[in-house]
Amino acid sequence: MTALSAPAETSIGTEADYYRAQQRIVRAAVDQAQTAWRQLDPRTPSVSWVEEVRPQVVTAVEQAQQESAALAPLYLAGTLLAAGAVSAPLALLAASAFVGLAANGLVLSALMDFAFGYYRRARAADVPETDARALGLAKLLTYVATETNDTARLAVHVGSVVEPEIAGYERVVTLPACGRCILLSGRLYRYSTGFLRHPRCDCSMRPVTSEQWREGGNSRSPRALFDGMTRAQQDKAFGKGEAAAIRAGADIGRVVNARRAGQVYVAGGYEFTREAITSRGIGWQLGGLAKRGGRYRRSQVSRPTAAQLVNAAGADQQELIRQLRRFGYLRDLRQ
C-alpha cells in the first residue's frame, strides 16, 4: 500500500469540497475492488479469493482509509476558517491509526470474507455462476464503500475532539439519500455522540463551533431537502404513498418514523403502524387509551400508515388532509 502524508487536495473549505474529495476516494476503492473480483476463478474460487482477490481488495480499502483519514485535518481546518475560527488542535491526527480495521473491529480480510461467503453459499445452492458472482460483488462493494466512509467520519470525529473550538457536528445529507437520512439532515450533535448510519450511507458531518452551536440554526432542514427534490426522487426516497402524504403537508418525521422496523403490520388488507400510539405519543389524539401491559396507556384505535391514508383518500385532497390530521401525521402549528 502506498501511504500518503496528505491527499492531493490542499483546500477543503466547505462540506461540498470535502464530500467530492471523499467520494473520489470511495470511487477509486470500489473500482479497484470490482477489478479484483473479476479475477475470481470459478474453478478454484477459494484459492483465487485468498491468494489473488482478497489481498487486492484489502489493499484498496487500506489505501482509501489512509487517504480518508489524512483528509480530515484539512477539512476541519477549512471549516473552522470559514466560521471565523482558528484551527489549533491539541494533537495531530495519525492517519495510519485508522487503517486495517473495520468499524465493527474486524480485520478487513475477515470482513471481506463475508462477501465471498455469499458467493460460495449461492453456488452451493446451485445459483448460476453469473448471479452468484453478482451477489458476492454487491456485498463486497457495500463493505468497501461503507468502511471507507466510516473511516472518514471516524477521522473527522476524532479530529473534532482535539479541536477546542469545535462543540459538535451537524449531519450533512447529500442527495440522493434515503428517507431516514433526510429526516436527520441538519441535526446538531455533541462531538461525543456517535454517528448513525446504514450500509453505503455517505452522509458526512460538518464540525460546528461553540458559537454556531449556541445559535443552533441550520440551512439543511429535512423539509428544505424534500422540497428541493423532484417528485421521482421523493417517491424513491420515501415511497410513493409516504411522499404523497408529505407533499400534502404531513410531518416528515412522523411519516418516516411510522415505518420503523417492527412497527408496521397488515390487518384486513390494510396497513397500520404501532408507532407513537401511547399516551406519550399521539395516543391521546387517537383516543381509546387503555392500560394493557407495558408502561404506558396505548390507544386501541388502529393507526393507518400515511401511505394507507393516501391510498384510501384517492384524489380527494381535502379528505386526505383531514385523515392525516386525524391520525397524527399533520403537526399542529402550536406544537
Q: What is the pLDDT of residues 36-89, one digit of tens each?
A: 999 999 999 999 999 999 999 999 999 999 999 999 999 999 999 988 888 899
- Determine, yes or no, domain membership for 100: yes
Q: Is the pLDDT of residue 151 over 80?
A: yes
Query: How far is CA 2 from each of CA 23, 38, 193, rounded to the nearest angstrom?
Result: 19, 23, 33
> Where a domain ends, among 185, 215, 245?
215
- Determine, yes or no, domain membership for 335: no
Instruction: Tell me the three cell numbers of residue 193.
Output: 455522540
Length of the chain measured in residues: 335
Cβ neighbors of 90 (< 8 A, separation 6 or more) are 162, 163, 164
- For residues 139 and 258, membership in a common domain is answered with no
Pairing of β 289-290 and β 298-299: antiparallel
Q: Please calculate the CA angle 101-107-109 and round it to the nearest 5 degrees.
A: 120
- For residues 197 and 259, membership in a common domain is answered with no
- For residues 100 and 21, membership in a common domain is answered with yes
Q: What is the pLDDT of residue 190?
A: 87
Range of the domain at 303: 237-326
- For residues 60 and 97, membership in a common domain is answered with yes
- For residues 202 and 127, membership in a common domain is answered with yes
Q: Is the pLDDT of residue 330 over 70?
A: yes
Closest listed residue to residue 22, CA positions, set 196, 206, 160? 206
* Averaged pLDDT score across all residues of the chain: 91
- For residues 159 and 286, membership in a common domain is answered with no
- Determine, yes or no, domain membership for 263: yes
Query: Do 182 and 222 form a contact (C-beta atoms < 8 A)?
Result: yes
- For residues 56 and 169, membership in a common domain is answered with yes
- For residues 241 and 280, membership in a common domain is answered with yes
Closest listed residue to residue 9, CA positions, set 103, 73, 101? 73
- For residues 298 and 191, membership in a common domain is answered with no
Q: What is the pLDDT of residue 274?
A: 94
- Determine, yes or no, domain membership for 288: yes
Number of independent structural domains in the chain: 2
- Determine, yes or no, domain membership for 5: no
- Determine, yes or no, domain membership for 231: no
Q: Summarize pLDDT for 207-266 with one digit per residue, the tens.
A: 998 888 887 756 678 999 999 999 999 999 999 999 999 999 999 999 999 998 889 999
